[in-house]
A and B are shown apart, each in its own frame.
Chain A
Amino acid sequence: MRKRLGRPWLWLALLVVLIVFPFLEPPIFYMRLVSTILLFIVLAQSWNIIGGYTGYISFGHVTFFGIGAYVAALLFRAAGWPPYAAAVPAGLAAALFALIVGFPTLRLRGPYFAIATLALSLVVEVALANLPFTGSGEGIVVRGGMPFTRMALEQAFYVCYLALAALTVGAVVWMERSKFGYGLRAIRDDQDAALSVGVSGIRLKLVAFALSSFFAGMAGSIYAHRAAYVSAPDVFTLDISIKSLVYAVVGGSSTVAGPVIGSVLMELLDIGLTTSVLGQIRIDHIVFGVLLGIVVLAAPRGIMGLTSR
């Protein structure tokens, strides 16, 4: 088998550049741009755990992102928790929720899981938009608890996203070469055959779903503070589910590098499209749809599949 990781020093060099970058005090625009890309690396890579390695295509990744955002908002409102402190409980809440909903839905096969996760994200959005303790339709303001100057604020969020992206990518690097990771891929390729060699199907799938949701929940908690405001329509937008999936698949799911490359290229493309004249007619949706179709039909292993052919 090909070495999936390529050259480790390249990744290390990239990480060093990314760490140094914000402290050179670059223009805010570029820092926000990189922050946003890092956020999508977390989302696409965490989607990759359940959608790529386990083969359970989720259309509801935003559910766990949104839950994380709400947990962070509630912790901030109740006790003034800053984003980096809220990230862990937010991630755990998302993971717990994944365990609960995964227990019935991970028994479904094929497209049924995709439909179930999509439905779930819509249900959770409506629920959180109407519960009194989540601020109902008004949402929750999450402002304060972070540094003071504009530059320092941007740097702080940048560092949060970078740390989270490194953690998520690191987890998948570990997973690739672990007993757990091989078990997941066996389930993905042939569930019955996997069971026949002793892989405990539902248990592994639940752990994968919880892990995937954990990272998405952490991302949500930082996003809540970044946006300074949490409301259900914002943090449960279908866009996030779609982007997580598309970025991972276009880059190449079931690989470490795929979702990273996909997030960088596709997010740049997305920004280019939405800020263009055609952005008003949501040209980004059209392009993403067409691109996804092309990838699924012509290059199911994504960009990574093309490079290693």
Chain B
Amino acid sequence: MSALLRAERLTKRFGGLVAVNAIDLEVRAGEILGLIGPNGSGKTTLFNLIAGVYRPDTGSLVFSGRDLAGLAPNDVCRLGIARTFQLSRPFHGLDVLHNVAVAVLYGNAGIGAVRAAETEAERLLEYVGLGPSARAPVSRLTLAQRKRLEIARALATRPKLLLLDESMAGLNAGEIVSAIDLLRRLRQELGLTLIIVEHLMQVIMGVSDRIAVLDAGVKIADGRPEDVAHDRKVVQAYLGAKYAPSGA
């Protein structure tokens, strides 16, 4: 399979801190890539680099043949990359339906008429299970519903690649099960490529085809979930040297 997204020696510094340090990463079309690492390891910074919020200091970032360096977030969106935010960031002055309709209008759906965008937004809200809340103000939504709204809004831009930043954090067990189901459907039914950041290990191990592990801005492992889980460096990063299997 060819790489949909390829990062080479990607680096981002904030003052003296190297938040993302010479990371090489490849994302293949149609795969679910899990991105894990302790707090502050650079996961969200990497997302922000891909989404165009930050400009990389060095290194290259190529998405389906296009260089992403220097593009603004709205240009990156137009190329087919959508993202959700770790803490949900809805448009509070718009109802649920129009939060999604805006994304339909300005993304890649090719819909410029408000009525048609509303119809499409309704369809997407049904898809993520928010149909009944379409006309509600955002403030009425529960945390789980807000996470779904983030996903619906991202989907509305018709992306090829979707970046999900902790879309399950804070959900209860039942909500997590249905969230996992939604992720699987995104790939199977919509053919999306996903990069997911998640702290819940059993979730990310279960849904990802491949996992990349970051620690202090450096990629320390990249491979199948079961291999990564037993990787000495990974265990060390999460639990400390004491728990790491010797040798390996």
Q: Give the B-binding residues of A (Cβ under 8 A).
A: 1, 177-179, 182-183, 185-186, 188-190, 192-201, 254
In this complex, which of A1, A192, A201 has the most chain B Cβ atoms within 10 angstroms of its Cβ?
A1
Residues of B within 8 A of A179 (CB): 105-106, 112-114, 117
Residues of A within 8 A of B137 (CB): 1
Verify if B94 is at the interface (C-beta below 8 Å from A): yes
The complex places the Cα of A254 from the Cα of B118 at a distance, in Å, of: 20
Contact with B102, one of A192, A194, A201, A254 (Cβ below 8 angstroms): A194
| Contact in complex: A198, B85 (CB < 8 Å) | no
Q: How far is the CB of A106 from chain B (nearest CB, A)?
A: 14
| Contact in complex: A193, B89 (CB < 8 Å) | yes
| Contact in complex: B94, A195 (CB < 8 Å) | no
Residues of A within 8 A of B131 (CB): none
Question: How many chain B residues touch A (Cβ–Cβ < 8 Å)?
Answer: 36
Q: How far is the CB of A172 from chain B (nearest CB, A)?
A: 15
| Contact in complex: B98, A182 (CB < 8 Å) | yes
Chain B, residues 153-179, CB within 8 Å of chain A (1/0): the string is 110110000000000000000000000
Residues of A within 8 A of B72 (CB): 195, 200-201
Verify if B65 is at the interface (C-beta below 8 Å from A): no
Q: Indicate whether A190 sits within 8 Å of B114 (C-beta atoms), given known contacts A195-B73, A197-B103.
A: no
| Contact in complex: A188, B93 (CB < 8 Å) | yes
| Contact in complex: A192, B53 (CB < 8 Å) | yes
The complex places the Cα of A186 from the Cα of B99 at a distance, in Å, of: 8
Verify if B194 is at the interface (C-beta below 8 Å from A): no
Q: Indicate whether A254 sits within 8 Å of B93 (C-beta atoms), given known contacts A183-B105, A193-B85, A195-B74.
A: yes
Stretch at the interface among B29-37, B75-83, B212-220, B235-243: B75-83
| Contact in complex: A196, B77 (CB < 8 Å) | yes
| Contact in complex: B93, A185 (CB < 8 Å) | yes
The complex places the Cα of A177 from the Cα of B92 at a distance, in Å, of: 17
Q: Which residue of A lies closest to B72 (CB)?
A: A195
Residues of B within 8 A of A192 (CB): 53, 73, 89
| Contact in complex: A199, B106 (CB < 8 Å) | yes
Verify if B107 is at the interface (C-beta below 8 Å from A): yes
Q: Give the A-binding residues of B (Cβ under 8 A).
A: 51, 53, 72-74, 77-78, 82-83, 85, 89-95, 97-98, 101-103, 105-108, 112-114, 117, 135, 137, 153-154, 156-157
| Contact in complex: B135, A182 (CB < 8 Å) | no
Q: Indicate whether A178 sits within 8 Å of B156 (C-beta atoms), given known contacts A189-B92, A194-B102, A200-B74.
A: no
| Contact in complex: B102, A190 (CB < 8 Å) | no
What are the nearest 8 A-B pairs in CB distance?
A197-B103, A198-B106, A189-B91, A195-B73, A198-B77, A1-B95, A193-B89, A198-B107
Residues of B within 8 A of A1 (CB): 94-95, 97-98, 135, 137
Q: Indicate whether A189 sits within 8 Å of B53 (C-beta atoms), given known contacts A1-B98, A179-B105, A200-B74.
A: no
Residues of A within 8 A of B97 (CB): 1
Q: How far is the CB of A254 from chain B (nearest CB, A)?
A: 7
Residues of B within 8 A of A183 (CB): 102, 105-106
Q: How far is the CB of B153 from chain A (nearest CB, A)?
A: 6
Q: How far is the CB of A175 from chain B (nearest CB, A)?
A: 11
Q: Which residue of A lies closest to B163 (CB)?
A: A196
| Contact in complex: B77, A185 (CB < 8 Å) | no
| Contact in complex: A186, B94 (CB < 8 Å) | yes
The complex places the Cα of A179 from the Cα of B106 at a distance, in Å, of: 8
| Contact in complex: A182, B89 (CB < 8 Å) | no
Contact with A189, one of B78, B93, B108 (Cβ below 8 angstroms): B93
| Contact in complex: B94, A197 (CB < 8 Å) | no
Q: How far is the CB of A256 from chain B (nearest CB, A)?
A: 14
The complex places the Cα of A197 from the Cα of B150 at a distance, in Å, of: 11
In this complex, which of A185, A189, A197 has the most chain B Cβ atoms within 10 angstroms of its Cβ?
A197
Q: Indicate whether A182 sits within 8 Å of B77 (C-beta atoms), given known contacts A196-B51, A197-B82, A197-B107.
A: no
Q: How far is the CB of B131 from chain A (nearest CB, A)?
A: 16
The complex places the Cα of A194 from the Cα of B78 at a distance, in Å, of: 13
In this complex, which of A182, A186, A196, A254 has the most chain B Cβ atoms within 10 angstroms of its Cβ?
A196
| Contact in complex: A198, B94 (CB < 8 Å) | no
The complex places the Cα of A167 from the Cα of B157 at a distance, in Å, of: 34
Residues of A within 8 A of B94 (CB): 1, 182, 185-186, 189
Q: How far is the CB of B173 from chain A (nearest CB, A)?
A: 29
| Contact in complex: A190, B91 (CB < 8 Å) | yes
| Contact in complex: A198, B91 (CB < 8 Å) | no
